[in-house]
Amino acid sequence: MDAHEIRFVATPAHGEVRALMLHPVGACALLVLAHGAGAGMEHAFMNQAAEGLATHGVATLRYQFPYAGAGSRRPDPPAVLEATVRSAVAAGAAAAPDLPLFAGGKSMGGRMTSRAAAADAGLIALGIVLVGFPLHGAGRPPGRERAAHLAKVPMPMLFLQGTRDALADLELMHGVCADLPQAALHVVRGADHGFHVPKRYDRTDAMVVEELTSVIACWIKELVGR
């Protein structure tokens, strides 16, 4: 199945960005999916996640933040990232008006989606999917400061975290999710922040992606009653 490209205006100042829609026949929902800080929407992980979700009946709209579309590796300011999330969700709703809509992303993309959902303007989404939520910065002491806004997110959230994720102390993540009445946490054994698993775990990265996409699809289908 091939993805088709659409474009939408990220912000008036930053103009259009690209997005890729993958819409399987009989899809039960659309997940608007943001990339992480270090890789754009066509990174192998993003491609594999979109294809895996399609096999489970979930359509995806992957999109670029303005800095990635411009070929920069330095992320845009948070206000620009959050505005782009809102624009992407609106673009997804327009592209697939018949599908229940969810939003989320990998690492920074998920964090910016949750920040947009927590803000006064909010997001029109049934749930938020956070793949590798970056609870603390690389090389920094573990802390929960980046999770402070999550209490203001009004819709259900699904967190997917690896046991070897250097950007999210798992004990702290359990505590964060326990404090959120609508949060679910799925832990991926042996996975790091990029969801790579060493050979000693007798699992391939493809198996990890299948686990992630299966869990996401099941969670979405429960929420939409499928």
Residue 215, classified by CB atoms within 10 Å of its CB into exposed (0-12), middle (13-18) or buried (19+), is middle
Residue 142, pLDDT > 90, answer no
Mean pLDDT of all residues in 206-210: 96
Q: How many CA atoms lie within 13 A of 27 on its CB side?
A: 24
Mean pLDDT of all residues in 85-109: 97
Distance (Å) of CA 168 to CA 33, 134, 156: 20, 6, 20
pLDDT tens for 51-90 read: 999 999 999 999 999 999 999 999 999 999 999 999 999 9
| Domains of the chain listed by start with CATH number | 4-224 (3.40.50.1820)
Q: Supply 31's token pair.
A: 């997940």
Contact 71, 127 (CB under 8 A): no
Q: How many CA atoms lie within 13 A of 144 on its CB side?
A: 14
pLDDT tens for 165-198 read: 999 999 999 999 999 999 999 999 999 999 999 9
Q: Measure the CA angle with vertex 167, ends 162 and 169; round to 5°.
A: 70
pTM above the 0.85 mark? yes
Burial 38-60 (b: 16+ CB within 10 A, else e): ebbbebebbbbbbbbbbebbbbb
Distance (Å) of CA 29 to CA 77, 93, 172, 182, 220: 30, 11, 31, 19, 7
